[in-house]
Amino acid sequence: MISKLFDVLSLVFDKIPGLNKLKGARSIVGFVGLAIVAGLQAYGIGDPAILKDVHLGLLVFIGLALNAKGRE
């Protein structure tokens, strides 16, 4: 049942428009975004609440990208 859930998440993530062009580099894009957000948080630039939400969103994005990468 869990495997089927991850298959469905992978299928839905692959159908997001615009991400098909980055299919091989989605996790790299997520890690670069995460590094930028971490840098902004370290220097205190921006609203901490928004940066925290963006940080969590990027973690989910990276997780979905890595999940979709290993599935067909």
Q: What pLDDT was estimated at residue 51?
A: 96
Predicted confidence band of residue 71 (pLDDT cuts 50, 70, 90): low
Q: What pLDDT was estimated at residue 72?
A: 62
Mean of pLDDT over the chain: 90
What's the pTM? 0.83
Alpha carbon separation from 67 to 19, 23, 36, 52 (Å, rounded): 14, 12, 23, 23
Element (H, E) at 19: none
Q: What pLDDT was estimated at residue 22?
A: 80
Domain ranges within the chain, ordered by starting residue: 2-69
Looking at the predicted structure, is the pLDDT value of residue 12 above 90?
Answer: no
Which residues, 6+ apart, have CB-to-CB distance to 67 below 8 Å? 6, 9, 10, 13
Q: How far apart are CA 26 and CA 20, in angstroms?
A: 9
